[in-house]
Structure 1
Amino acid sequence: MKQKRLSIFFIFIFILSLNTNVFADNAPQKPDPQIYGKAAITIDMQTGEIIYAKDVDKQMYPASTTKLLTALIFAKNKSKTDVLTYTADAKVQPNVSLNVNLHPIDIGETMTAQDAMDGLLVYSGNDVAYMIAENISKNATDFADKMNAEIKNLNLSNTHFVTPNGLHDPNHYTTAYDLSIIANTAFQNQWIRETMSKSKSSIKTSKGTTFLIDNTNKLLGKDGCIGGKTGYTLPAGRCLVAFYERNGRKILGVVLNSVYDQKDSFVFDDMKKIIDWSYDAKPVNLHKKDSVITTKTFKYKPLVFIGPEKTINVPVIIKDDIYYYSNEISKKELKEVTKLNNITVSELKENGQVGTLTIKERNSSKDYKLYANLPNGTLLKNNLPIYGVTLLVTLVAIGIIAFAVKKLLDLIRRKKRGKYTW
């Protein structure tokens, strides 16, 4: 008997192993990863959905992640073969810890825009950012106006930039959410995307000076990391933007104000944690398939042109499971917008589409079709009494008319017989 029970137990375990998603909808979510970064976010780059969120609207200093916006404006105004001149303001930019310059370069030396983009994004040169700014605008202040115009164009309300390189200024700030929008926009540009993917590069000036540079993003090429941008100042802490692609799915991560340790590992560990967590995250079921979302009320006349007016409430359902990621933003901001079509009862069909349900969350919006849950014969069944009475009245009326006609014909025949009788 004991052996039989063991056999049944192992068969049950085997069946469960073949159906790993049996309890997927009810599986508990993994706890949020614990990171050193004061603010962080991950976003599904295809849908715009926020997956992981930590103080995403808190204003922070972005340090050299600022250069993603500088690169975006640069790519919009220059081509790879354009020539840029090294400026006086570029020459005097300070080396600040991890954000360094390409010195020695003389004022007036030139380089291609392609080399400048490498120096900006691969090496994170503070001087290169100023050179770019002053080759596009008359000065860095004018370039900052262009940056803030782009910020406004992206509908970002918690960001204001002052410098092209992100060196500290109390009026130079952003949020994890706003920076994710800037980063995602920059990533859509092929030139920027290709540059961030380089692990190494070389830069050559007009005087023949050559710089061999390495990408400052330690995660590049590991576990699906296809690009990113680092940053650091003492007030900003260690910052990182990273782009990942695994099995065709792209996720963007942002970490702000993490710790700069002796091995410079914390911010990269933070990013790895939130990205791994986000790829494993299971969305929460908001509405199950065939759930009733609302009802639509119809007024109509069963006899079309005559008779009483009736009302019918038709359940409106979805035919898909609807999911969302539970985080601090979705808990506060997730919205459901129902839009029903202007149709009549005569246009209703069994499971016919009657509208759209839109699930909105910040930069994410998904539409789902809504259907009328009206089984065939419902209207007929509801109106049988009226149809029955109408049929009875009609039959009685026909009977009366038939009887009257018969009487009339009989009368006519009798009159005819009387007329010809001698």
Structure 2
Amino acid sequence: MMKKKVISLALTFSLLFSSTALAAPAPELIGTSAIAVDLNTKEIIYAKNIDEKRQPASITKLMTALLLAENKKPEDNLTYPQGAKTQPDYSYGLNVHPVQAGETFSGANAMDILLLYSGNDIAYMIAENLGGNVENFSKLMNEKAKALNMTNTNFVTPNGLDDNTNDHYTSAYDLTLLGEAVYNNPWVKATIAKKTSEVKSSNGPIAVIENRNKLLGINGNIGGKTGYTTKSGRCLFTIYERNGRTIATVVLNSEYNFPADTKVFEDMEKLVEYSFTADKQVYLEKGKELQSITLKYKSIPFIGPTRTIKVPVTLHKDINLYDTGLTPELNYNIDDVSPWKLSADKPVGKVDVKIRNYSESYELFPNISKMQIIKDNALYYILALLALIIIVSSIIIIRVKFKRKKRRKKSLFR
């Protein structure tokens, strides 16, 4: 009976420790590109084809919104142009209430319709009001993308419609850079957090529009933007806040299971749950030799011959990173240190670990101390000591002989 209890306890502890030691597996997503980034630390938590070019569909409107926020005020009026009337579903003038060319929308209403209802005509209206025409506005979009370091991005349309072009694209990683700019813009950030809004044109009635982000307000979702075209598949960008952390997430080219439209949101929920619970893995262990540095020194300070010594450097703490498949850059910065001052407890430089916008420095310590120099030169020091003894002894003998000779001369002249 006692033996069975012992075995049972052993199995319990074994299962307990094995379950805590194993990291949660990364989620399997339908979306062909996806990413999760901690906006506070800039760490990429999950990565799947994050640099591959994809059509972003209506997530494009986040860039349009950002430019609107940077160039207009909520109380400014924007004129509805004739070209806006030709934009397809979903358009405010086509699907909510007819709008005539020349009517106006306040900046606040335009922003709400753009991001909550995803109005294609309103994106076109913003483009003409800010850029004069869509072509000029696309230049503004791409200039802003360049300023945000979105290197795999090219915008052609203000609303993400891509039927007539293959040159409208971005990447999952680039969208997190845009998402961070959105998060830092109070007007856009407040807008994507709205569930509903009352809007109207200058001559139209009040209409209530709803946010298309089905996850808004659930489990920390503070906003996002949906998207879909035939080329892009179902897309979703979101921002989550939980337990003092802020994580931006993107899923591109997921499945659009119309009319239920659940797949991309299920993808996102899997990605988010993983991102908030994922543990970092040991990338480089403390105590492991990273590289060797070569230092010059004189065997006897100031006067001895110059020699070199290879000094292995190591870490005093682990480097832990999220398991994303991305290879970090390691940049070594070694101080100008004297080998005679080497100590296992004194750092000799740093290694900077960098993955995209994330960077952290770790101190490097020598694996040897100045005692190693003494050991390496022990034979030299013994020979030098013997030589010194011989020289000193010779000097003493010569002086003794000289004194004796001097005394003899004195005795002869007495």
- TM-score range with shorter-chain normalisation? 0.7 to 0.9
Q: Equivalent residue for 2:299?
A: 302
The offset of 1:256, in angstroms, is 1.7
Distance in 2, Cα, partners of 1:37 & 1:100: 30
**TM-score scaled to structure 2, two decimals?**
0.88
Q: Which residue of 1 aligns with 2:171?
A: 175
Question: Matches of residues 6-155 of structure 1 in structure 2 within 5 Å?
Answer: 6-7=5-6, 9-10=8-9, 13=12, 24=21, 27=22, 29-30=24-25, 32-96=26-90, 103-155=97-149
Q: Is the 8 A contact 1:351 1:371 kept in 2?
A: yes
Tell me how far 1:223 sits from its aligned partner: 1.0
Cα offset for 1:97? 8.9
Structure 2: gaps spanning 5 or more residues: none
Shift of 1:137: 1.2
Cα gap change, 1:404 to 1:98, in 2 (>3 Å)? farther
How many correspondences in the alignment? 411
**What SS does the corresponding residue of 1:353 show, helix, strand or coil?**
coil
Rounded Cα–Cα distance in structure 2 between residues aligned with 1:99 and 1:165:
15
1:351-366 counterparts in 2 under 5 A? 351-366=345-360
Displacement of 1:293 in angstroms is 0.3
Whole-angstrom distance in 1 between the partners of 2:247 and 2:214: 17
Distance in 1, Cα, partners of 2:77 & 2:154: 29
Structure 1 runs of 4+ aligned residues shifted over 6 Å read 97-100
Structure 2: distance between partners of 1:267 and 1:177:
18
After TM superposition, the score normalised by the length of structure 1 is 0.86
Superposed CA offset, 1:39-82 (max 9, x none):
22222323433332333333322111001111122222223333
Q: Give the deviation of 1:14 after TM superposition.
A: 5.8
Q: Distance in 2 between matches of 1:242 and 1:316?
A: 42
Q: How far apart are residue 385 of structure 1 and its match? A: 2.2
Alignment of 1:20-419 (within 5 A): 24=21, 27=22, 29-30=24-25, 32-96=26-90, 103-168=97-162, 169-170=164-165, 171-207=167-203, 209-261=205-257, 262-327=259-324, 329-330=325-326, 333-375=327-369, 377-416=371-410, 419=413
Relative to 1, partners in 2 of residues 1:91 and 1:119: Cα closer, same or farther, differing over 3 Å?
same
Counterparts of 1:242 and 1:144 in 2: how far apart (Å)? Answer: 24
- TM-superposed CA distance for 1:222, in Å, is 0.7
Q: Partners in 2 of 1:100 and 1:5 — Cα distance?
A: 74
1:229 deviation in Å?
Answer: 0.5
Contact 2:90 2:119 in 1 (8 A): no
Structure 1: gaps of 5 or more residues: none
Cα deviations by residue, 1:98-131 (Å, 9 ceiling, x for unpaired)? 9976533343333332332222222222222122
- Mapped contact 2:175–2:250 kept (Cα < 8 A): yes
- Cα pair 1:38 1:256 within 8 Å, conserved: yes
Structure 1 residues 403 and 68: CA distance shift in structure 2, 3 A: same
Return the alpha-carbon distance in structure 2 between the equivalents of residues 100 and 355 of structure 1.
Answer: 64
Q: Equivalent residue of 1:42, what SS?
A: strand
> For the residues of structure 2 that align with 1:98 and 1:266, how far apart are their CA atoms?
26
Is 2:333–2:349's contact at 8 Å kept on the other side of the alignment?
A: yes
Secondary structure of 2:348's match? strand
The AA in structure 2 aligned to 1:191 is: W
Single out whichever of 205-214 and 256-265 deviates more from structure 2.
Answer: 205-214
By how many angstroms is 1:413 displaced? 4.5
Deviation of 1:314 (Å)? 1.3
CA drift of 1:201 comes to 2.3
